[in-house]
Amino acid sequence: MYLLNDILVIFGLSALVLYLCHRVGIPVIVGYLLTGMIAGPYGLSLVHEVDTVKVLAEIGVVLLLFTIGLEFSFRNLLQARRPTLLGGSLQILLTVLCVTAVSRLMGLSYGESVFIGFLVSLSSTAVVMKILQDRAETETPHGTITLGILIFQDVMIVPMMLLIPLLSGKEINAGVPGPMMLVMGIGIIALVFVSAKWVVPKVFFGIAQTRSRELFLLSVITVGFAVAWLTNRAGLSLALGAFLAGLIISESEYSHQALGNVLPFRDVFISFFFVSVGMLLDTGFLLKNTYFLVSVAAGVIILKVLVAGLSTMVLGLSLRTVVLVGLALGQVGEFSFVLAGSGVGYGLLAGDRYQVFLAVSVLTMMATPFIMMASPQLSEFALKLPLPAKIKRGSYPLGAQKRVREKEHLVIIGFGVNGRNLARAARAAGIPYVIVEMNPAAVKEERKKGERIYFGDATQEAILRHVNIKEAKAVAVVINDASATRRIVEVVRRLNPKVYLIVRTRFVQETGPLLELGADEVIPEEFETSVEIFSRVLAKYLLPKEEIERFVSEIRDEGYGMLRSLSREATSCLDLELCLPNVEIKSFRIMGDSPLVGKTLAETQMRKIYGVTLLAVRRKDRILSNPDPETVFRPNDILFVVGKPEQIAEVITLFSKGPS
């Protein structure tokens, strides 16, 4: 009964705290930690079965690692291997070295120092990716680099957990000789390979054929916990086994379905994990040592920002990207809590050090949304510092880039989908153009194909001058970074007041500021999609083409005001049933045995006998609109007719009935 009460308290209090955190802009994970602080023994003592809650928390950790294994892809990791492998490994290595050195100076043992370095080196994937997604920056250069490093960190928790017993000086599994452990490890790796390659696909194929969602879900959970139990029996951690189980299923075509089934359970149980961590945080300790803890948290953020920025700078990216990536990775992550839980059991976080870790982690997480909110302004400040131009623009090894001497050319900033389509159209029309792109890998690849593409950050005047922006006739800005777009528009307009400047933005609220900065045209992607959809819908409802074009033109001229306010009254007829009551439009295929084959429209007397009007005929890839009376019908022609339902019901027999 106590357990049910505790679960009710946790869920109810979590809902209230998460709602308040959402209103303030605090991450969900911090909300769970605050819930634990309030409900735990150091707070209001609302939860009594703390040990049972910890068991539920362990299930959450298993499910968390299981889903990471499901989402993990060696293929995706190799595609972004440079930022992921090089940037991620440098970030972790440098952070561990710096923290280890500081910890050793404070008198901690070597094992404890390295372990604390592990804890600090990990950042929060959940917090950072949520903010990037909310700001539509996941596809920006800094968003891509940040995601790559976060993925690498998530994967590295597995070897870190394996090293915990070694750092503590204890045997991994008492009573099991080293050679036997090696044999067991090789056996587990072989099991993963064989299962992923042959066993799991065949088993899940048979299960999928039953079309039983319950059976599929139970099978997924069984595989996850079975492999976790097996690795645990071999002396390894449950979390590692769960990751390997996810990895087994991830290589099959059933991984997405499995992930979708497990995610709700993971979210529920992982909430218990973060709440249980919050219960361990001594609020009295936090209040008593506020100045010290805030100072340590600030030091951790500064260290991580500098190290992550340096790791990104090694990749050769621009200073703006370096600053944005560094500021995004300045917090301690959720996997550090998982790691810390294992470390406490081995004595690597004794005494008050665990409380210091919990408090510092929560403080860095809470600071992250505000730091990332200020990151564009901080990056602008960094660009104004008296630093070498090579650092500001990036030093990716792409070879010499000759200065553009052309005039009346088009400058395309950004080489995503829109940039590629625009370049293709300009090439087909014979318009001279150059491209500015911040993804060095894309620049290198496209340059091999003969594309006139330049690597650089277009927010900097030097890059724009290099592509001869002063002599350009038009500039198209088609990148996903809203703050960078505003900066580019301001610089372009200042360098060339006469250039035609067209900008694509993700959100309509950016339209006004961009127009004020000097853009001639702003195309908001979200409303242009809406315009395209409803223009096709209006065409489906038989509105004249010129009325649709006038309607769309009015919306664009008004700056999409109608779509923002939805206050405009429709001046056209949008409901076919109201405009043309009791009328239907149907399409029918003329079968080979139809009496219409070989006859002309006039011979069928379709309108005279049945009262049905033929609108168009589709013949293979051709459309014969408003066909004349002498049009001869052929097998497989598709006829589009309009008439009353009962009239169409009579004429339908002509299309398939054999000769009478």
Q: Does residue 258 carry a pLDDT above 90? A: no
Q: Does residue 261 carry a pLDDT above 60? A: yes
Q: What is the pTM of this model?
A: 0.67
Determine, yes or no, domain membership for 2.
Answer: no
The pairing of strands 638-643 and 433-437 is unpaired
- Average pLDDT rounded to a whole number, residues 408-412: 91
Q: Could you tell me where the DSSP H helices lie in 45-177?
A: 50-71, 74-79, 81, 88-105, 110-121, 125-134, 141-168
Determine, yes or no, domain membership for 60.
Answer: yes
Lowest average pLDDT, out of 67-71, 77-81, 383-387, goes to 77-81
Higher pLDDT, 497 or 72: 497
- Average pLDDT rounded to a whole number, residues 269-274: 80
Higher pLDDT, 567 or 654: 654
Q: Does residue 478 carry a pLDDT above 80? A: yes
DSSP-derived secondary structure for 356-408: HHHHHHHHHHHHHHHHHHHHHHHHHHHHTSS--HHHHH--------PPP--SS
pLDDT > 90 fraction of the chain, expressed in percent and rounded: 17
The confidence score (pLDDT) of residue 657 equals 53
Report the 10 Å Cβ neighbour count for 583.
15
The confidence score (pLDDT) of residue 530 equals 65
Determine, yes or no, domain membership for 299.
Answer: yes
**Whole-angstrom distance, CA of residue 537 vs CA of residue 573:** 12
Q: pLDDT class for 543, splitting at 50, 70, 90?
A: low
Q: Are residues 89 and 164 in the same domain?
A: yes
Q: Does residue 332 carry a pLDDT above 60? A: yes
Q: Does residue 130 carry a pLDDT above 90? A: no
> pLDDT averaged over the chain?
81
Q: pLDDT class for 81, splitting at 50, 70, 90?
A: low
**Structural domain containing residue 568:** 527-577
Tokens of 539: 């065409």
The confidence score (pLDDT) of residue 325 equals 93
Q: Does residue 550 carry a pLDDT above 80? A: no
Q: Are residues 439 and 535 in the same domain?
A: no
Let me know: does 232 contact 240? Beta carbons within 8 Å.
no
Q: Are residues 490 and 565 in the same domain?
A: no
Determine, yes or no, domain membership for 361.
Answer: yes
CA 388 from chain center: how many Å? Answer: 34
Lowest average pLDDT, out of 436-445, 571-580, 629-638, goes to 571-580
Segment 417-475, tens digit of pLDDT: 888 888 988 888 888 999 998 887 788 888 888 888 988 888 888 889 888 999 999 99
Higher pLDDT, 116 or 405: 116
- Average pLDDT rounded to a whole number, residues 523-546: 69
The confidence score (pLDDT) of residue 148 equals 82
- Average pLDDT rounded to a whole number, residues 90-101: 95
The confidence score (pLDDT) of residue 118 equals 95
Determine, yes or no, domain membership for 35.
Answer: no
Q: Which CATH number does the domain housing residue 610 bear? A: 3.30.70.1450
Q: Are residues 315 and 328 in the same domain?
A: yes
Q: Are residues 273 and 203 in the same domain?
A: yes
Q: Are residues 238 and 285 in the same domain?
A: yes
- Average pLDDT rounded to a whole number, residues 382-391: 82
The pairing of strands 521-524 and 500-505 is parallel
Tokens of 638: 């598709």
Q: Are residues 422 and 375 in the same domain?
A: no
Domain boundary among 473, 499, 519: 519
- Average pLDDT rounded to a whole number, residues 6-30: 86
Domain boundary among 321, 353, 381: 381
Higher pLDDT, 22 or 193: 22
Lowest average pLDDT, out of 30-34, 305-309, 537-541, goes to 537-541
CA 136 from chain center: how many Å? Answer: 9
User: Which residues neighbour 418 within 8 Å (Cβ) at sequence distance 6 or greater?
Assistant: 478, 504
The confidence score (pLDDT) of residue 309 equals 92
Let me know: does 354 contact 340? Beta carbons within 8 Å.
yes
Q: Which CATH number does the domain housing residue 457 bear? A: 3.40.50.720
Q: Are residues 496 and 599 in the same domain?
A: no
Q: Are residues 563 and 619 in the same domain?
A: no
**Total residue count of the chain as it appears in this document:** 660
The confidence score (pLDDT) of residue 570 equals 43
- Average pLDDT rounded to a whole number, residues 30-40: 87
Domain boundary among 577, 608, 643: 577
Q: Are residues 83 and 61 in the same domain?
A: yes
Q: Which CATH number does the domain housing residue 202 bear? A: 1.20.1530.20
Let me know: does 269 contact 60? Beta carbons within 8 Å.
yes
pLDDT > 70 fraction of the chain, expressed in percent and rounded: 84
The confidence score (pLDDT) of residue 544 equals 67
- Average pLDDT rounded to a whole number, residues 317-345: 88
Let me know: does 271 contact 60? Beta carbons within 8 Å.
yes
Q: pLDDT class for 608, splitting at 50, 70, 90?
A: confident
Q: Does residue 176 carry a pLDDT above 60? A: no
Query: How many structural domains does the chain have?
Result: 4
Q: Does residue 76 carry a pLDDT above 70? A: no
Determine, yes or no, domain membership for 139.
Answer: yes
Q: Does residue 564 carry a pLDDT above 50? A: no
Q: Are residues 573 and 644 in the same domain?
A: no
The confidence score (pLDDT) of residue 527 equals 65
Determine, yes or no, domain membership for 387.
Answer: no
Higher pLDDT, 535 or 570: 535
Q: pLDDT class for 123, splitting at 50, 70, 90?
A: very high
First to last CA, the chain: 79
Q: Which residue has the tokens 């922006």?
A: 469
- Average pLDDT rounded to a whole number, residues 42-64: 80
Q: Does residue 93 carry a pLDDT above 90? A: yes
Q: Considering just the CA atoms, what is the radius of gyration of the chain in Å?
A: 32
Q: Does residue 235 carry a pLDDT above 70? A: no
The confidence score (pLDDT) of residue 568 equals 43
Q: Are residues 132 and 118 in the same domain?
A: yes
